[in-house]
Structure 1
Amino acid sequence: MSDAELAEQAALPDRIKVVSVKFRTAGKLYEFLHNESLELAANDYIIVSLEKGVGIATVVHPPYITDRDKGRVYRRVVRRATEEDVAMHKANLEMEKYAFETALHRIKKHKLPMKLVRVEYLFDATKITFYFTSDGRVDFRELVKDLAQEFKTRIEMRQIGVRDETKLLGGFAPCGRTCCCSTFLRDFAPVSIRMAKEQNLNLSPSKISGLCGRLMCCLVYEHSQYEQALEGMPTIDSEYDDGRIRGTVKKLNPLKRTILVYTHDGKYEEIDLTGKIPKSGAGCSRCHDGKSACMCEHKKAPAIEKAPPADEGDSLAELASLHREKMASLGITEDQASPKIARSQPQEQQPGQEPSAPRSRKRRSGKSSRRSKDRRENKGGERTEQREKKSPTAATGGADSGRNQNFSISRAAPQWKERRSGTVHDHSKGGNSDQK
């Protein structure tokens, strides 16, 4: 940009008058500074100033005033297009066809993995732009040299995506009309599969995909209306309970304001929610916490007051009276009642008698447990002496008598030996003795 252009941009006021134009059908809109000497209307052909040369464009919006964006460069409208300019533009369109065929032949010659989509001539033929698609990067330097030698002008190769390819080529969409992107869409809005789900569309790729193989752009058109219609409606697989019907929500119809509920009885019920949907922020806590789809008409469920705790004595007396009435109705007296029922009745306390303390198991102390152990050992010793007296071998002085005697002594009088000195301590009934 020259110094004169920079000075002109700096001198522009904060509010400027511009004209919106496009260079091709359904092309992007550009703003150019309005020429005050011209009276422009929509669909007029004009000549505008570009970075390198001039170009022919079509007026989309008449001149209007807007705020200046200080980060961009505004160029001016030069003049209105004449008949010679329009004829030159048509001649450029014919040259584009020839350039397209020539480029196809050269691409095949160099065996490049690319698909040529479109060719555009600048108005004064100072530049030719070739649009192509490819899965990856392409080394087209030799191709550019051949094309520049053929057309004697500046060559630009621009790689585009599949959506831009459909926008440039056009075609008929599945609905039967021409593609929206090639007729009136200026930019591509982001489209997600969630939009198709909220509109209850068939999620088959062949049903929701356009000519480019991507999700159709028309899914965005009614998405905002569906979002408003879905406000306050329950979600899929949520629990529904309106006091009359209880079940699980299986399907939504936002436009008709109805839901399909699978009840606990195994039936499907279609419920009209017109007039039942609470406004934003209304409804009970179960309506908006995501766990239930309660469609109650009250904002809050009435609080249930807790009953005061009943007296234990009163409850037992009431149970006893109810029991006696039941027995009397069956013709059974208290004497004929079962022991379990008799024991369940509370015993009356005699006047002047102290209340009996509840029985509880006491844990035995360590001293009592040791006493019982000593008793068991003494009893064991006495039984051993009795067996020794009754044994025939002990009376005859047989060989087994010593063994039995030793066995009985070891039970009645235990012995132990010191490891270092070898002294044997014998604790018999007669006293202590040490042996080596």
Structure 2
Amino acid sequence: MTTEITTTHRSLTGLRTALHRLAQRSGVSAEERYRLTLSASRVAADELTAGRPVLLEADPPHQSGAEAGAAALTVRLVLPEAPAQPSAEGLEGLPLPAQRKPGPAVVWQLPAPADGTGTEEPGALELLEAELAEALARADALAEDHQRLTHELSETNSGVLALYIQLEERDEQLRQAHGRMLRQLEDALRPPPVRVAGLEMAVHYEPAEKDAPTGGDLYDWFVLPDGTVHITVVDALGHGLTSTRSALNVTHAVRTLALEGHALESIVARTDEVLATFDHELMATVQLVRIDPGSGELVLANGSHPPAMLVREDGATSLLEARGRGVGFPLPGSEALLRDRLDSGDLLVLYTDGLTESRRDPREGEVRLARAAQRVRHRPIEGIPAAIAEEVRSVVLHSDDTVALTVRRIAPEPGQERG
């Protein structure tokens, strides 16, 4: 195959001008001329910038043969002094794809136009204007594509945002439903105060974790057939539903034994015997209290539980420490009962260790508890347990479930019967 055109170029301007005219005379469309010129300029730029010449070779479209018939114009760009031959990787991404031939040559083959070759010889300005128009048309098309993609992305983002909002709303609905379910569970686990003439009662419960408002700290209170009020406070080992189940087992067993008439001093030991057969890992501290609303007589039995605090109407405080070991402990049971008396205005505070051990020093917690109970003892009973807990737990270093339960003896109103 004979090369009919060969020119040497030392500047990009000269190379581009030669390509413009060569492609126009061969009938190459303005778009293809633009792509060819841009591609060749990229390949030759480094050589020309370095001062090394490049050769432009072309096989016109009029030559015969199978190879010639396959293309309107074959263009070779030769880099004779290039330090390295053009690589296939270096030719990727060109506006007009090229072929790498053996030696320092890059080849483009352009197809013949449908309407034949051009007949007029336009000036350089006309060639540039035609190619510029083609470039602008291409830029407009790219701009339209970009605008379309931007619109689609905006719609996608709007859809994602709407989905995110829906998920947030759904999540909030689930949280509210979860909260209602847990509050219902709490109400089922924590009975309301007993209403009996001569006594006021209130309770405050605070979970260790806000998102898991059940734990092993439970209480129970009810009236025995003889009119005595029975109170149980339980702290089962652990947190969450497992400890809740253990604490429920204890409170149910204690209620059953108490209503069956078992002596108060025997109930902790009997509870351990009943539960040991099916809950081998159960460990729980227990405090049992009996109060006669008429006389104010107070009896306590204990099983490893923190002592109750008695706050007299004049502000004097004392700890009611009854000895004993809890359910699941070695040698469980109450060693002896502790007896005292509630006079009018006296306040009894029962609690779990989460109240006084928030600073890991039970003695400090007991001092803070006494001071808090003294300050709030004359408030309405409904707010006393929460006020005590807020003051005692102002600094929490060790988070734990907490129960604070208060009972105050009052003079019964005229005509009020013992319940």
TM-score tier (shorter): under 0.3
Bigger helix fraction: 2
Larger radius of gyration: 1
Structure of greater relative contact order (alpha carbons < 8 Å, 6+ residues apart): 2
TM-score normalised by structure 2 residue count: 0.18
